[in-house]
Every structure is written in structure tokens, then in C-alpha cells.
Structure 1
């Protein structure tokens, strides 16, 4: 044996103790012998230390060998106990064996001592093996892993309750059956091949491999099999033993991680992850879009700080803002002029956020999002130039046209007063109409600007304010809208004013007859008039609408309804709905005209953003 044997020998004759210890040292490979001359002292030693075998004399003062055996068994039921006595008799031997001692020997010469040593070694070996098995069994039970033993014919010889619970079969159903009961054919062949490698002379002692267990009911369970062979000597294989691990959650987590990894790799924006615990906070991950956007491959980007994308025209103020946020461990977003590997500049909207293991903990990493906004910046610059041209145009219209018109209007008024010529009335009306066209042209130019800052605006409140600003006569307003939108309040008010004016102008074609209620004596007590047109304003899933119950949109102007100069009324300039379209476009919305439920006109504004919630 390679493991040391601890022996406790009790005998009231010290010379016997010394002689036996000498033989134990000679005959046994590794042994430690503790000797005592009194049973009571031996019980004390047992309370203090553990032993692999006890050897005891029979005839001792105060307590004989069998009485000592009974005392030992009260607390140490499984420790081997060998009775070695000089007072041998068949009666004592019979009593000893019936009591359950491990061995019985009479004291004698060298041959008897050699037999005693051999029996002690054998008993200690069995005891240690059983102790080890019990420990392993306790550990496996505590772990709760499914365990199986298959004999040399491939038949289940043993399974524990955890194995039965995993498969859904009773232990009685499993023991005596083949693994094909809960495995498909390919899995059985795989296990046999794995077993073959263990049995080969140069193979591993243990094989670990995935296997799907098909339970009695339900879907297959992904597991990992840890297989080894049972101990055997020579070429007589006795079977295999295995432990299964249910890796369903592990597989689910792996699939989830793979999905997230794939989402990161294939995201339409550049994604980077950095490690602030390393010197200079280098990038530890970059996705495909980052590589595509910057021209740097992963080997060039991973391991360095992302400042290598900066160049001579990169705004230092934006860099400072980004640096301050990282030092404060706060999220931020900036727009930087970065440079690709080939030196080409591009505008990069960089957003960074700290990664924390818990809400209050320090940043253990940083995630960054890079979005190429070059086209957006170019459009923004184009819009800026367009707005400048519109300002120039408005200035020309306001100064170079209005001044001559004002002079002409004044002269016509003077001439009309002095001469009373009726023809001058028509000329004055024409000049007034030209003034209106100039105002609407200026409005159209102003509303064509892109919208800058927006704020949350209540559709109902703005619509009510707009209604009060328009001469609506006896028209009626019905508002069911409840939503708020992100908009420029003044321009949204102008949009509603033009739509309301359009409904009043084109919807009030007829006035409903009055209705009177008479008293008993025939006199009239009240008179009411139905509204000439009713305007309704309500919510859409992605916007809002304005509808009326007027005559609707004439077919002749439907296609060009939002074009400047198109009007269905003789007094109209045709700029109102064109302005509505420009305001909608400036917000990034769309406007569409259709028929209302009552046959009137309905204007739907869609693509409208709801206000974003403020984040503390």
C-alpha cells in the first residue's frame, strides 16, 4: 500500500507491544504504531485521533478485550478490530467472531506475528478504501450530479436518484437497460468510441464530451458526460462509470452571448470596448463597422487608445469634453472630425458610456459608439447655405418689391381721392393682392428653413391658440387630440393657422338655415344657426390630423394642392397649404390630403416625434 496505516495496539505487556511494532515496521510498507497498556488509555487516544486498525489483547486489567471491543463500537463502528491474545480458546474465539471482530489470532512466534501483520494490512486497506468511497459518495451526493455505472456489456448496472430525476425514468426502468433508452444511435456510438480511447494504452484516463439525453418526456437535455473505466486488472474490462452535467443553462447563456456578440459584430454603428484598468485605456474590442468605417483592421486597433483617429482639424473642445466625461465616469456624446487610415477625414458622432459591475461601483470598462455622420453634416451645411440664400431672397422681396408697391399704392389712393375714378379701385385691389402675395412669399421662404431646437408642445393647446388667431366666423372646433409633439411652437402654430384658414375659406360655402322655437302664443323665444363648417383635430398613431365637413377637395386641384399658387378660392393666393408643407418638411414630417369621413377635407401630418423623457 502507498497510504500509511495508523495502528493502535493495546496490551498490558510492553514487551509484546515492542515485538509486534517491530514486525509491523518490517512487514508493512508504511505504518505508524501507537502502543498503550490500558484499554481506558486506548479509548482516550481514539477520542483524540483516528486509526485504520485496532489490535487488542484479551486478558487485561480493568477491561478484557471483548469488553474493550464493545466500548470501541459505541463511537467507532467500522474501525477494524483484531483480537490478539495469549489466552486463546475456542470459547473466546467463538464469542469474538460472533461479536463481530475483524480477526482473531493467538499469540505465538514469528509466523503468527507475520500473519497478524498481513491481516492488519488487509483490514486497513479495506477500511481505507471504504472510507474513501464514502467520502467520494458524500461529495457526489452533495454535488447532486447524475451518476451511472455501465457493465462490460453496456448495460446500466447502477444509477443514482439524480440520474433518474434527469431522465424522467425510474431507477428500476434504467437498471438492466441499455444507454439507447435515453440516447440516439449517434450518441451511443460516440460514447463507445470515447470509451475505446480510454481503454487504449496511450489514451486519456477520462473523456469529457457533449451528449443529448432524451428524457422520458419532453425535449432533449444538453449534457456533458465525464466518463472513466472501472478499475480492473489484466485484460478483463469490467465496465465504465460516468457523471452527467446538465448544461442547459450554460448552453442558453452561451447562445445568448453568441447572439450578443453577433449583434455587436454586425451592428450598423461602430462599437468599441476599452479597459481603463490597463495603461492608457486601450481598446480591447472593435466590431466590423468600426473596421469598415476607419479602415483600420482589428490587429491595428485593439490594444491602443482610440485617439489615433484624431488629426490636425479635430476640435480640441470636443476632445476636452470627451476627456472630462471619462474622468468623471459619465456618459457623453460629441461630434469629432476623425481621420481614416488613408487620411480621409470624416465626421464621427462618438458616444461613450461607463460599464459597471453594479450601479454604484467604479467603471470597469467603457463602451463607445461611433457613427459616421459626414453626410448629415454636409446636409446640415447645405441647409445653412440654403437658409442664407432664403434670407437674401426675403430681403430682396421685402425691400425691392415692397417699396415700389407701397409707392404705387399711395399714388393710386391719392389719385382715387382726387379724381374719384372708379378704375382706380380695381388698381388698388390688384396692388393689395400683390402685397398679400409678397407677404405669403416671405412666409414661404421663412418656413422653408430647417427647424433647430424643438420642445414638447401640446397639439390641443397650439390648435386652440391658432383657432383664436383666425377669423373663424360661425365655424365650430372639435379637438380630441391628447398627445404632445416635439416641435417649434411658433411654426406649429402657423401650420395650424393655415390649415384652419383653409377649412374656413373653402368649407363655408353655405350657411345652414336658422331654426326657431315658438312659444304658446306664437312668439319666437330663441334662434340658433348651425355652424357653417366644423373643424376636427385629433391624434394619429404617428402624428395628428385636421379634418372638416366642408365640400372636400376639388378634383381639378387635388394633384397640385401643396404647390405655391394653387387655390380653389377666387380670393386665395394658393400659398397657405404650400406653407403647411414647408413647415412639415422643416420638422421632418410628411403631410397628406385625403377625404374626411363626412366628405370634407382631411390633412394628416405623420412621422411626428413624441417628446423624449428627460433622464436625470
Structure 2
């Protein structure tokens, strides 16, 4: 009804039109934009009606109606929404909504004004003024009403020293927990405690001295020590112009204050989340893009490491960082690059001298972090360099660990759980870049180290296959299918095409024939896990040849002269016993242009195209006359003849492009 107070809960967009319509109808309208703010307002008991949109930031209108109902505010809720019915819960009216109306132009706004008026009218007291002569309350009635009123009421006598209480009603006793006999004769300040605001106490004192009425919200304490919020109104009472008493009206508003505090905490939490997301987006747009550029432009690992550390030091909120490697010879962490922090390049640290997070990052290959003041006074800890936090990021490509990246924050809220994901991506990017540089160096080096390695362990993958086919096998190549599986191309002499024993090996998923001659047979084994053989490239080596028997295998591996041979051997020693380096010979590289060409072609082919090309070549498909046709090869690959030819034509096209125009790319 006109003159009632309405609370409009609506997003900023579109709220003005509704506010204007209700204003014109005579309503006193207050507008908020979130359900949280609305709950805090409603609990004050100052509104006759709530008008709410369903779609609100955060909690929706139905959740708001439920919260109002649970708060016992008893304020009717009218939902006025543009949201279609299917998107709104069927229990909308069970959730505390009194009226429901869809937005549909000006006519619906007129209907809204009518509905709000009807709701407020039903809530307001009705009836005309009546003659009450003879029904005036007696002094006893008034005394009983004061005594039994739900609002705490007290009287203090200013003629007595320290203005003691001379009267309190039952509600005052209920609110405070103090029996009346313990309260009378004492100044009401005994309700104060350690959480009472001194400024509020001073305002009350000044108001009493100046004989002024004052309403405050003050933190008081019950007899059992429980704190509560007291909405206290103090006013002077006069008798024939003389100050007779001070009356105090007390209302327990703890629930409302709690709701307001929760609303403020929620708003602050949302603001903190928003700031954190903005910071993470800034890292993505800034740090990740700059490091991507560094990796694209980088030509050697040293330069990449230096520039990455410099970029981290320039990033807002970050103090600086370092990159280090764990020496396979000494087991110590050796710093190879640093910027922005007092860490010397070339310095070496025993792992037990560094924070435990450094050791955990090495053991788990997962990002680890620590803050200053929590055991961070060890070497490289945030406390020793003046930083707020340290994040230790593994730089790992597959099974190859290139080192660790340490990042220090200069701000306490930087390097939180969200930024850890960004830093984890940084570590992977650096590892990919270093692997690319290392691979390029392997392919373009003028000299190589040729390693002859023997593995005398029957559990070696190819030795198990050799044992299954009861003859030696020769490794022709490996195709990675995903992070775990791979396809091994093998040649054996004097065996049948029965691969039952091979299929029964625990790591074998499938076996298929590739080609067969009078002397030997070539077959492909799909392994469910990648053997160490397929991971040598991650450690800077190239497998040139492998021959395996049931009890031993001989491998020839090429690597750049500066490559850490121990790291390559450790790949095998981690899984097999009796791994021996038989010889290490440095010599001129094989024809580099041919190697580069082969690498370029291999980089362009998909797994299926590479498989089709290799299977066709091993079966003599490119000879004339052809000993096999496309159907036979397709059958061996487990695909249709049409699919085989599609893969083969695509592979041939890329092969020709790599020869005619090496700069071309798909």
C-alpha cells in the first residue's frame, strides 16, 4: 500500500524502471543488487515488502526468499523476473515467495505495483478509528505491559551516585541472564567486557552528561560470559521539568549483526577471489606469453635459463628466481641461472641444506611451496633472500628432468594455489623448449659420441620378446602412440607367424605382421607402457641399433659430445640390472643434411601416416613389380584399403614437400 517501505533486489541493469514505478505509486523504495545485501537489510525489520528478480549475482531470488523465511523477518516476497519458468525451481512458492510475476513490458510493471500494494495491504493493520472511552489502561495495566514487554527496559536514577539501575523488566533479565536482584543498584556498565568498543562507551557517557537521547549498538556480555550485540537507546525522563530517570531500551540484535558480518565477509571473500583471478589472468597474459617468446627465440639452454629468470624478476609481485640442476655425479643442486635474488650463479648446495620443498619437488616431480618463517631459513629459503614465498617448480619433459625453477614472491598473496597452476605450466613450457633445443643440437652437431651398451637382464623388453619368439630380434624403430603406449617394429629370422607367446607378455597389447620374406619376418608390437628404449631421446640420445636375445641385448646410441652419458645409462639402470657401457667413441657425425631431412619428415607425419609409410616400405610396396598390394598391407595394419591409401598418399605428399620446399608446413 502507498507509504509502505519496499526493498528492491535487482541487478543494476533494469532496476531504475521498477524503482520509478513503485516511487510513483507512493512506496518508499530502497534498492540493493545482491541477495547477501538484501538479507542484511531485511533483518532490520524496516521493510514491508521485498521485490526480487530471480537471476541475481551470487544466490538467486529463491535462495533469498528462503533466507528471509529462515530469519523470521516475516517480510512478504514478490518475485518479478524475466527468467523463463523452466529455469526456476518448481518449489518457488514453498521457498518463501508470496507472489510470482513474469516481466512482460509496461503492463507487467503495472501488475507488479498492484501485487505489491495488495501484499502490503494484507500485512498492514486495517480498520477505522474507534471510540475507546472507558477502555483506557490503568496504571497496573501499564506497569504489567512494561514488565512483560519483549523489549528490555531499565531505569537509572541520576540522584544516586554512579546512576545505578533501580528497575529492569523481565525481558532485560532474559537478554542479560542476570537476575533482577543482582542487577539493581549497579551501573549498567557491568554488562561491558573486553570486546566493548571504548568509543561507543564514550558516546553514551557524553549523551548522559548532556541529557540527550542516543541509540547505539554496543557489544555486551551475559552473566555466563557470552557476548551479544545490544541495540541500546538511552533517553532522559523528566518530571515537571526536572530530570527524574534515564530510561534504557534494550534489543538483542546479535542475529542481525551476525548476518551483516557474514555478508561483509562474503563480499570481502568475493572481492579477494576477484583480485586473485585478475592477478592470475595478468600472469597468463604477461608471464606466459613472454616466456613463450623467449623459448621460441632461444638457441641454447643457458640463454633460455637466464632470460626466464630475468622475466620472472620483472613480473609484478615476484621478487626473482633461479634455475638449478641436480648433478648426477655429486647429488648437489647447482645453480645455472638467477635474477632478482641474492643467489650466485654457479653456487652448489647439498639438498639437505635446502628447504624440504626442494627435496619434495625432486622426489615427486610436483610443484611445492613454502612461506617465510616456517622452516624457510635454510639455503634458498624465502627468508634467506628476503622473499615472502618460494615456489619450487620441476622442469620435466616426459621422464627427463632438466632441473628446478625457484620463484620468490615479494607479496604475501602472490604464488597462491591458482598461480601454482600458471607456474606449473611455466615449468612444462621451459622443459619443452629445452628439449627442442637439445633435439636440434643432436641433429645438427658435427661430432657425436657413439655408446655401445649391453643389458644382461632377461626382463629387458626386447629380450622378453626374443625369448617369446625363441630367436634374436632386431629393433627397426619405435613410434610413440601416447604418453604411455608405443609401437615397436622388430625383425626376426627363422620364426613362424604365430605370435601367441608374444601376445601373452604382460606389457603387450597387440601384435601384427608387417612383412615376410624367405629369411625373416617383420612384425609390430603395441606395448601398453613405454620401455626405456623409447625414452632415450628425452635424455639427449638417439638409438641407432638394438639386437636382443633372450638373456642379453646390445644397443648402439649416439649423443652430442657434451651430453651427460651417465644420465642416458641411468635410464636403463633404473629398471634393469647388469647395464654396462662397453665403449665410448667420439667420431664425425653421420651426414647431417640427411639426418635433418629425416627429422623434418618425421616431424610432419602423424602416427598413422608414419606407420603406413614404414609398413609399405618393409613389405616392398615401392618395388616393381610389387610383391604385395594395398589390400594386404591394410589387412596387416587392421584398417581398410581406402584408409591405408589415404594415409600413404598424405605421407608421400609430406615427403615430397620436405624435399622440394623444406620451409613448407601443413
Settle same-fold status: TM greater than 0.5. no
Q: Whose radius of gyration is greater, 1 or 2? A: 1
Question: How high is the TM-score relative to the length of structure 1?
Answer: 0.28
Question: How high is the TM-score relative to the length of structure 2?
Answer: 0.26
